[in-house]
Structure 1
Amino acid sequence: MPTADRPPTAGPASPRRCSTTSSPGAPDPVGGEPLLISGVVVDAAGRPVTDARVAVTHAPVEVPDVAVLTEEDGGFSLGVPVAGSYRVAAYGEQGSGEETVDVGRARAAQVRLVLRPSS
């Protein structure tokens, strides 16, 4: 499982391949279509944060330890293998933030992550 203590591995730009498989007892994928968590990362003042690292930190099944960087507008998208509840975290120079988001039959979920300074 991903943790905040280690850097992400094998992302889309990596030469290494990573894959996911369903675990016994895990929820079934929704219709075989890709599922997506997308959103925006902002600072405490509500301004978009560029180049924040966003990753799934808890999932209903095992997922690869992969992170994405936010765009200039703070936006990001992460593909996930199955419907369920996911914990998504963002890390940047301004601090960190995390939220839980439920991905369901709509096949997409939106989340707003607010970076707060670490204490």
Structure 2
Amino acid sequence: MTSLATINRVTADPIEAAYIQVYLWAEAVKKAGTTDVDKVREAAKGLEYRAPEGLVKIEAENQHLWKPVRIGEVQEDGLIKEIWSTKEAVKPDPYLKSYAWAKDLSN
């Protein structure tokens, strides 16, 4: 029998995102002690999880995820070769608040 840890498999960001969501939701439910949406949402603030990609965290301010950033290059075989990445998770900026060029986008 072959160990799953020794099998070289390809995955995609949406698959990993779904995987992370299930674990973070389960942790928030445990912390809240209920599946009540408002209580779970509150319990999720600041939750951290060691995901396959590294440590991720739910930003309390906007419920988006701190994640490592990776830049890749598509190869001839369709696979993506990582050419750059951050060493740590990056704070989410879903509303482009930290970019001067984006200040007028929401008006």
The normalised TM-score by structure 1 is 0.27
The normalised TM-score by structure 2 is 0.29
Q: Which has the higher strand share?
A: 1
**Larger relative CO (CA 8 A, sep 6+): 1 or 2?**
1
Bigger-Rg structure (1/2): 2
